[in-house]
Amino acid sequence: EIVMTQSPVTLSVSPGERATLSCRASQSISTNLAWYQQKPGQPPRLLFYGASTRATGIPARFSGSGSGTEFTLTISSLQSEDFAVYYCQQYKSWLFTVGQGTRLEIK
C-alpha cells in the first residue's frame, strides 16, 4: 500500500497571502496524483489530477506541481472561500490512498 503523507496538518494564513501545501508518497507514483478541497458538510471537490492538470472551473490562483514522491499545491492569493481541508490522493495503483489532510485556516 502506498502511504500518502501531507504537511502541515494545519496551516494558518491570512487572506491575500500565499499558501503552500505538501504531499509525499511512500514510493514513486509518477504524476498519478489528485488534489481535493472539502468544506464541512460537502463532498470533496476535485482541484487537480495528473498532479498539475486543473479540473473544470478551478480558478487560476490554484496550481499543482510535482512528480515521483513530492507534490505541492499552491494557492497564490487566498480568498475567503479557500479556507477548507485539502487532501491528496494517489491513483497509481489500487488501493487508492489519501493523505490525512491539511486544514487551511484563517490567520
Partner 1 sequence: EVQLVESGGGLVKPGGSLRLSCVASGFAFSDYTMFWVRQAPGKGLEWVSCISSSSSYSYNADSVKGRFIISRDNAKNSLYLQMNSLRAEDTAVYYCARPTTFSPYSGSDYWGQGTLVTVSS
Are 7 and 101 within 8 A, CB to CB?
no
Question: In whole angstroms, what is the distance from residue 70 CA to residue 30 CA?
Answer: 10
C-alpha cell recorded at residue 26: 511512500
Kindly state whether residue 99 participates in binding partner 1, applying the rule CB under 8 A. yes
Cβ 87 to partner 1, closest distance in Å?
A: 6
Binds partner 1 by CB under 8 A, chosen from 37, 48, 73, 104: 48
Nearest CA to 23 among 85, 73, 91?
Answer: 73
The single residue among 14, 16, 81, 95 that binds partner 1, judged by CB under 8 A, is 95
Minimum Å gap between C-beta 49 and partner 1 is: 3
102 binds partner 1 (CB under 8 A): no
